[in-house]
Amino acid sequence: MTITLPYMSSEHVPVLPAELLLYSEAGAGEVAVDCTFGAGGHARLLAERLGEAGTLICIDRDPAAIERYEEFAAEAQCETRFVRADYASALAELAAEGVRADLIYMDLGVSSMQIDNLERGFSYSFDAPLDMRMDTSGGTTAEEVLNEWPESRLADAIRHYGDERHARSIASQIVARRPLQTTCELVEAVRQGVPPAVRFGRGNPAKRTFQAIRIAVNGELDQLDDGLPLAWQLLAPGGRLAAICFHSLEDRRVKRFIAGLERGCVCPPEFPICTCGRSPEAERLTRAVAATAEEIEENPRAGSAHLRVARKLSANGGDS
């Protein structure tokens, strides 16, 4: 199946655009929820597919997204609405309103717009204040985390959220260099906390630590754990849940969530007949879909992206 994509601004290129359109099965007149509006790249694609009879509810916690949403809404082919909140809170709000969606999709992680705004401190390639908040209107900054957390807590976060094998020595260097105020100071702490082979090897050794601190600052994994069941509850029967993940911590959660919903009988294998009465609540529409070589060449940020999609089978799936 060939997907024709509308013109997209060179300022922001959404990842896996054709794959999201194909596997999400978005159709005219449906209600869709964009959990991570960002620059609106995916929203523009879906709005065209939904058409005049459709509705797209856009969610983002970043105050900077409001202006981008207003520009998008002025040209959108469907009805639109914006909710400024983290997506777990916004989904709970929509569920309380009685909203039912045909499609809910998540483009997880930090957006390219946030990375490209150097003052936000997400990039390890430029010197900037240690902020890393997706919602700049409040909350704990990366500077506070790095300067106030105990060394053991920092090490645990860097190891767990960044899959960094040198987490303890990196945390030790961070504590020794306090107070840290800029991204370059954090990069230098990481460089001194890793062996020379890593320090002078391929790629920036601070990549995993920056990911870990960003996830800790924004509570990204907690939000995903809360948001997935809320999204499933919000879906109408036949509705689809789609998630684009950029690292294994996210992808494993989405995979396990869908697998749990796909599972039917959970009776012990020695039982002669089923007594639990459990039936599958989801149909997996695709295994993890990766970007093509052509897309990665044009948009390197797509290199780590994976898309998973599932369809809700029953009226009570996720509502009990």
CA-based Rg of the chain, rounded to a whole angstrom? 21
Burial of 53 (0-12, 13-18, 19+ CB in 10 A): exposed
Q: Look at residue 320 in the predicted model and tell me its pLDDT.
A: 39
d(CA 47, CA 211): 31
Q: Any idea which residue has 């709005």 for tokens?
A: 47
Q: Nearest Cα to 34, choosing from 134, 113, 102, 112? A: 102
> How many C-beta neighbours within 10 Å does residue 217 have?
24
Q: Look at residue 1 in the predicted model and tell me its pLDDT.
A: 35
d(CA 63, CA 14): 20
Q: Look at residue 202 in the predicted model and tell me its pLDDT.
A: 83
Local structure of 138: helix, strand or coil: coil
Q: Is the pTM of this model over 0.85?
A: yes
d(CA 219, CA 151): 19
d(CA 297, CA 290): 13
Task: Please say whether the structural domain 17-113+220-312 has been given the CATH code 3.40.605.10.
Answer: no
Q: Look at residue 119 in the predicted model and tell me its pLDDT.
A: 87
d(CA 288, CA 285): 10
**pLDDT tens figures, 122-135:** 999 999 999 999 99
Do 236 and 100 meet the contact criterion of CB atoms below 8 Å apart?
yes
Do 36 and 62 meet the contact criterion of CB atoms below 8 Å apart?
no
Locate all alpha helices (DSSP H) within 194-301, ordered by sequence.
196-199, 207-218, 220-234, 248-262, 293-298
Architecture of domain 124-218: Orthogonal Bundle (1.10)
Q: Helix crossing, 220-234 with 248-262: angle to 10°?
A: 30
Phi first, then psi: what are they for 144, rounded to 5°? -65, -40
**pLDDT tens figures, 47-69:** 999 999 999 999 999 999 999 99
Torsion of CA 274, 275, 278, 279, to 10 degrees: 30
Who contacts 62 (Cβ-Cβ below 8 Å, separation ≥6)? 38, 111, 114, 134, 135, 136
Measured in residues, the chain has a length of 320
pLDDT tens digit at each of 320 positions of the chain: 333 433 333 356 899 999 999 999 999 999 999 999 999 999 999 999 999 999 999 999 999 999 999 999 999 999 999 999 999 999 999 999 999 999 999 999 888 778 878 889 999 999 999 999 999 999 999 999 999 999 999 999 999 999 999 999 999 999 999 999 999 999 999 999 999 999 988 889 999 999 999 999 999 999 999 999 999 999 999 999 999 999 999 999 999 999 999 988 878 888 888 888 788 999 999 999 999 999 999 999 899 999 999 999 975 444 43
Q: N- to C-terminal Cα distance for the chain?
A: 37
Token pair in block for residue 44: 């523009």
Q: Look at residue 17 in the predicted model and tell me its pLDDT.
A: 96
If you write DSSP's letter for every residue of 160-211 in order, what string do you get? HHH--TTHHHHHHHHHHTPSP-BHHHHHHHHHHHS-HHHHTSSS-TTHHHHH
Q: Look at residue 12 in the predicted model and tell me its pLDDT.
A: 66
Domain residues of the chain, as ranges? 17-113+220-312, 124-218
Q: How far from 154 is each of 125, 162, 216, CA to CA, in Å?
A: 22, 11, 10
**pLDDT tens figures, 282-305:** 999 999 999 999 999 999 989 999
